[in-house]
Amino acid sequence: MKSRIIQVASVAIISFGLLASCAGTKLVAQWKDDTYQGYPAKLFVIGLSKEYGPRTLVEDEFARQLKARGNDVIASYTVLPREEKPEKEAVLKKVQELGAEVIIVVKFLKKEVGDTHTPVRRYAVPQGFDTSWDNYYGGVSTDVGVRDVSYDYDAITMETTLFQTATRKPIWSALSQTTYQGGPMKQIKPFTTAIVKNLVQERLVR
């Protein structure tokens, strides 16, 4: 019975490890204009999404995290009409009125679904020195007795770009991929954390 408990626990630990290694946000590509220097006095963040709800959540999280670091940030939904995608000129006019030097545009690109199938096996505990030595070259293993680990996951690809208001030119841009299980809304905070962390490292925000 004790051996069975150990086997089940081993599978649970391995399964958790697989899920943990799969989840998270990573930057798969990025670009920066090295001629840009200094920190913007005010930032304007806008999320481009087909749905108004996710847009507000993304903008709020960016504003919250950036403000916590001492940056002055405005979320677009607080000053622009409730539209799926505001007109470019309307956005630029509002940004200029508010005096924001940099626009952060967070764009949803695509969502993919994948699956992972990993066979789980566990080596048997040696019974003693003699048994271990006799099987040194071949090894001793046994099936765990439960089905293989298999799970589905979702991956969302996003593009985050910083534009300088005065020139309308990009100063930093990155493609990111967030892999997860469960609801996508729960990924907004860790996604934002990963992006903000990189912006801080690049000395683009405080």
Question: Does residue 133 sit in helix, strand or coil?
Answer: helix
Strand partners, 173: 31, 161
Cα–Cα distance measured from residue 160 to residue 42, given in angstroms and rounded to the nearest whole number: 17
DSSP letters of 85-99? Answer: S--HHHHHHHHHHHT
* pLDDT one digit per residue (tens) for the chain, 206 residues: 444 433 433 433 333 343 344 468 999 999 999 999 999 999 999 998 878 888 999 999 999 999 999 999 999 999 997 766 788 888 999 999 999 999 999 999 888 887 665 554 444 444 443 444 354 444 444 444 444 555 578 899 999 999 999 999 999 999 999 998 878 889 999 999 999 999 999 999 99
Cβ neighbours of 61 (radius 10 Å): 22
Question: Whole-prediction pTM value?
Answer: 0.73
CA angle 188, 164, 200 (to 5 degrees): 50
Give me the amino acid identity at 66. L
Q: What region does 70 belong to: left with phi over 0, alpha with psi -120 to 50, or beta?
A: left
Question: Does residue 156 sit in helix, strand or coil?
Answer: strand
